[in-house]
Amino acid sequence: MYDFSTITGSIHEFLLSFMAPWLAVLTECLIIGMGLLLVYSVLALIYIYYERKFCAAIQCRLGPNRVGPWGLLQSVADMFKILIKELIHLNHIDKFLFALAPYLVIIASMLCFAVLPWGNGLQIIDFNIGIFFLLACSSIGVLGILLAGWSSNNKFTLIGALRSGAQMVSYELSIGLSVITMVCLAGTMSVGGIVMEQQDCWFIFKGHIPALIAFVIYMIAGTAETNRGPFDLPEAESELTAGYHTEYSGIHFGFFYLAEYLNLFIVAGVASLLFFGGWMPLHIPGWDGFNHIMDYIPSVVWFVGKAMVLSGVIMWFKWTFPRLRIDQLLSLEWKYLLPINLVNLVLMVCIIILGWHF
């Protein structure tokens, strides 16, 4: 399988050939930042089109089909429209926090992007507590949502923010315990190390029943963490207009809209990392010919493909199941998912100690 670190190493050597080391590092940071923004924007447009077509298929209709071939340019047209929309200035709000909130949400998702392993040697940063860093950064987003709801000085936005805070803080526990379960199996918190531990077999197969339970709980909790249906109570249109971002307009509303789709990709990307090997191809022990063929598929295709498929599962949740009540949502976490997760963690530790995993 091709190692992208040869390209990144060549770029580094090229810059060092006519720059001071500090200037070369600064230039690399700028290039990475611009690349990250480009991928962030393009991926959001792809996901908007993806969900529109996905929900259209579920509802037996066509979805976007006028702007561009097969409606491919509909998301681009919507992007330009939202960029030229007027920013409506409101009275009786906390202007500083109101303006800060959407940027906090965007920054949280971009920090998580930096840790994802996009391919073999194609990762912005990899260190020994990568998973811990990713969980910490993902927790910043709830601050933006709470600030947006509170600073808007509107009862609907405040209720939406409080619901979102209660929901995200609760389901972060299940996400964290599912991640810890797989970290125990991997024996490392390094993102690159977790991928390399799955070179012979993905964890969803290697970890037996505890890995499968952790995967199911992670997908449910991840759906709730991104405020998507059937857990979309913070944005319940029939009750709260648009929830915590009711008072936002123009590009500020666009930031919340983008962050929702990018958080969907991050949740799916982390699931592919922990359970399906990240960029690692499907390898079956003893099937050397099959494994060799799988290695020809680029690692970026493996990672993005797995993330897109898992994102489709989360979209299927939204367009299939009805919205829960707030008491049902919190009962599901505290009475069912959390106790099951704790027992499952102990079960995984026992399997590792007894050496029953593959």
**pLDDT, tens digit, for every residue of 104-118?**
888 888 888 888 888
Residue 257: its pLDDT value, please? Answer: 82
Measure the CA–CA gap between 284 and 245, rounded to whole angstroms: 47
- Domain assignment of residue 15, yes or no: no
Give the pLDDT of residue 115: 87
CA angle 279, 283, 289 (to 5 degrees): 125
Q: List Cβ neighbours of 7 (8 Å cut-off, separation of 6 or more).
A: 121
Phi, psi dihedral angles at 119 (to 5 degrees): -170, 180
Q: With a cut of 90, say whether residue 177 has pLDDT above it.
A: yes
Quick: pLDDT tens for 343-353: 999 999 998 88
Q: Which domain holds residue 257?
A: 88-354
Beta carbons of 300 and 253 less than 8 angstroms apart: no
**110 falls within a domain:** yes
Strand partners, 122: 119
pLDDT tens string 32-76: 888 888 888 889 899 999 999 999 999 889 888 888 888 889 888
Instruction: Determine how many CB atoms are found less than 10 A away from the CB of residue 6.
Output: 10
What's the pLDDT at 228? 82
pLDDT of residue 344: 94
Tell me whether residue 320 is in a domain.
yes
Q: What's the Cα-to-Cα distance from 324 to each of 105, 227, 229, 296, 328, rounded to whole Å?
A: 24, 12, 9, 44, 6
Residue 93 has pLDDT above 70, yes or no: yes
Q: Which residues contact 68 (CB under 8 A, 6 or more apart)?
A: 74, 76
In a domain, 151, yes or no: yes
* Assessment of whether the complete model's pTM goes beyond 0.85: yes
Q: Dump pLDDT digits (tens) for 280-336.
A: 888 888 888 888 888 888 889 999 999 999 999 999 988 888 888 888 888 999 999
Both tokens of residue 279?
């960029």
Q: What is the average pLDDT value for the chain, to the nearest integer?
A: 87
Q: What is the pLDDT of residues 17-29, one digit of tens each?
A: 888 888 888 888 8
How many domains is the chain built from? 1
pLDDT at 183 over 80: yes
pLDDT, tens digit, for every residue of 209-259?
899 999 999 999 999 888 887 888 777 666 677 677 788 888 888 888 888
Distance CA 111, CA 254 (A): 19
In 3D space, the residue among 156, 186, 142, 141 whose CA is nearest the CA of residue 277 turns out to be 186
In a domain, 164, yes or no: yes
CA atoms of 101 and 88, how far apart (whole Å): 16
Q: Is residue 33 part of a domain?
A: no
Please give the share of the chain, as a percent, with pLDDT higher than 70.
98
Give the DSSP letter string of 234-253.
GG-HHHHTTGGGTT--HHHH
Q: Which two tokens stand for residue 7?
A: 């390209």
Residue 105 domain-assigned (yes or no): yes
Contacts for 139 with CB less than 8 Å, ≥ 6 apart: 108, 172
pLDDT at 356 over 80: no
Question: Do 299 and 273 meet the contact criterion of CB atoms below 8 Å apart?
Answer: no
Give residue 268's pLDDT.
Answer: 93
